Structure 1
Amino acid sequence: MQITVDMNLCESHGQCVFAAPAVFSFDDEDHLVHETSLDEALRADVEKAAAACPVRAITVTALPTAAA
């Protein structure tokens, strides 16, 4: 899965960090950092994080598949 955070929308509320701490965190300057590509095993946590975002800045999509 691929995660995109619209940093123009993100207001650093931190709800995603609480919902999926293995994926989202804050750096030393309190800027959100996150993984962009993850294993499907974390999908439930990432979807909770996206749903918890008060400004809906997080988008979760499937990774593109390689053409055969």
Structure 2
Amino acid sequence: MANHEKMSTGSNDRPKNASIGQTGPGLPDDSSAPITPSPEDEQAVRRALDTPSPRERLTREVDEEIKASARGSE
């Protein structure tokens, strides 16, 4: 296995020990343009992140019901 012929001369032509994707050392090769959201998009994302998930809402409701029953009121 000392000498192998090249199998590709295309975009996959690289040494066997070369890193793939962005797994190698150094800065990532991200040449895309930065995203600039509109103020409406930004507010929509903020509202979505501030809204508790259905699981969190249910957990809060159950906790409140448990506390209410412990106090003797429903």
Give 1 or 2: higher strand fraction: 1
Please say which structure displays the higher CA radius of gyration: 2
Give 1 or 2: higher helix fraction: 2
* TM-score (normalised: structure 2): 0.21
Q: Which has the higher contact order (CA 8 A, sep 6+)?
A: 1
